[in-house]
Structure 1
Amino acid sequence: MEEKTGANQNTSELKRILPLSSLVFYGLAFMIPLTFCTTYGLVTNMTHGMVSLTYVITTICMSFTAFSYVRMTKAYPVAGSVYTFVHKSINPYLGFLAGWLVLIGYMFLPMLNYIAAAIFLNAAVPQIPIWCWIIVFIIIVTTVNHFGIKVTDIFNKTIVWLQIIFLAALIILVIKFVLGGGGVGTFLDPKSFINLTELRQEGMGFTVLLSGASLLALSFLGFDAISTLSEEAINPEKNVGKAILITSIGAGAFFAVITYMLQAAWPTAWFEIVDVDSGAYEVIDKVAGPIMAYLFTIAFSVGGVASAISSVASASRVLYGMGRDQILPKRIFGYLHPKRNTPTYSILIMAVISLLALVLPLATATSLLNFGALLSFTLVNLSVIGHYFVKGRHRKGFDVFRYLIAPIIGAIFTFMIWINLDRNSMILGFAWFAIGVVYLAFATKFFKKLPAEMNLE
Structure 2
Amino acid sequence: MTNADGSGPGTAGASAGTERDGLRRTLGFRDLVVYGLLFIAPMAPVGVYGALDARSHGAVALVYLCATVAMAFTAYSYAQMVQVVPRAGSVFAYARAGLGKGTGFVAGWMAMLDYLLIPAVAYLFSGIAMNALVPSVPSWVWTALAVVVTTLLNLWGVRAAARVGFAVLAMEIAVLLVFVVAALVVLVQDGAARDWLSPLTGDGTQGAFSLGAVLGAVSVAVLSYLGFDAIASFAEEVTGGSRRVARAVLFCLVLAGTLFVVQTYLVALLEPASSAELADQPEKQGSAFYDAVDASVGTWLHDLVAVSKAIGAAF
TM over 0.5: yes
One-letter amino acid of the counterpart of residue 34, structure 2 = F
Distance 1:230 1:299 in 2: 29
Residue matched to 2:94: 85
Deviation sequence 1:355-396 (CA, Å, 0-9, x none)? xxxxxxxxxxxxxxxxxxxxxxxxxxxxxxxxxxxxxxxxxx
Distance 1:35 1:96 in 2: 30
Offset of residue 235 of structure 1: 1.7
Unaligned stretches of 5+ residues in structure 1: 1-7, 307-457
Contact 1:281 1:293 in 2 (8 A): yes
Offset of residue 261 of structure 1: 1.3
SS state of the match for residue 173, structure 1?
helix
Could you say if the C-alpha distance between residues 265 and 147 of structure 1 is closer, same or farther in structure 2, counting changes exceeding 3 Å? same
Residue matched to 1:237: 242
Distance 1:154 1:76 in 2: 27
Contact 2:32 2:245 in 1 (8 A): yes
Residue matched to 1:208: 213
Q: Does 1:163 align with 2:168?
A: no
Q: Does 1:195 align with 2:201?
A: yes
Distance 1:199 1:58 in 2: 23
Offset of residue 57 of structure 1: 0.7
Contact 2:131 2:137 in 1 (8 A): yes
Contact 1:49 1:263 in 2 (8 A): yes
Contact 1:26 1:153 in 2 (8 A): yes
Q: Does 1:108 align with 2:114?
A: no
Residue matched to 1:60: 69
One-letter amino acid of the counterpart of residue 150, structure 1 = R
SS state of the match for residue 116, structure 1?
helix
Offset of residue 133 of structure 1: 1.5
Distance 1:206 1:103 in 2: 35
Offset of residue 199 of structure 1: 8.3
Matched ranges for 1:271-350 at <5 A: 272-273=277-278, 275-306=284-315
Select the structure with the greater relative contact order (CA < 8 A; seq sep ≥ 6). Answer: 2
RMSD: 2.3
SS state of the match for residue 89, structure 2?
coil
Offset of residue 23 of structure 1: 0.3
Contact 1:45 1:268 in 2 (8 A): no
Distance 1:228 1:269 in 2: 42
Q: Does 1:251 align with 2:260?
A: no
Distance 2:41 2:181 in 1: 20
Distance 2:303 2:175 in 1: 11
Q: Does 1:226 align with 2:242?
A: no
Offset of residue 124 of structure 1: 1.5
Distance 2:275 2:118 in 1: 36
Distance 1:112 1:184 in 2: 33
Contact 1:36 1:255 in 2 (8 A): yes
One-letter amino acid of the counterpart of residue 154, structure 2 = N
Could you say if the C-alpha distance between residues 284 and 196 of structure 1 is closer, same or farther in structure 2, counting changes exceeding 3 Å? closer
SS state of the match for residue 72, structure 2?
helix
Distance 1:197 1:46 in 2: 12
Contact 1:49 1:267 in 2 (8 A): no
Could you say if the C-alpha distance between residues 303 and 194 of structure 1 is closer, same or farther in structure 2, counting changes exceeding 3 Å? closer
Could you say if the C-alpha distance between residues 78 and 193 of structure 1 is closer, same or farther in structure 2, counting changes exceeding 3 Å? closer
Distance 1:121 1:198 in 2: 37
Distance 2:295 2:215 in 1: 29
Unaligned stretches of 5+ residues in structure 2: 1-16
Offset of residue 95 of structure 1: 0.2
Offset of residue 195 of structure 1: 3.1
Matched length? 294
Offset of residue 47 of structure 1: 1.3
Q: Does 1:180 align with 2:186?
A: no
Distance 1:175 1:25 in 2: 27
Residue matched to 1:71: 80
- Counterpart of 1:154 (choices 130, 151, 163) is 163
Distance 1:155 1:78 in 2: 25
- Counterpart of 2:270 (choices 234, 258, 265) is 265
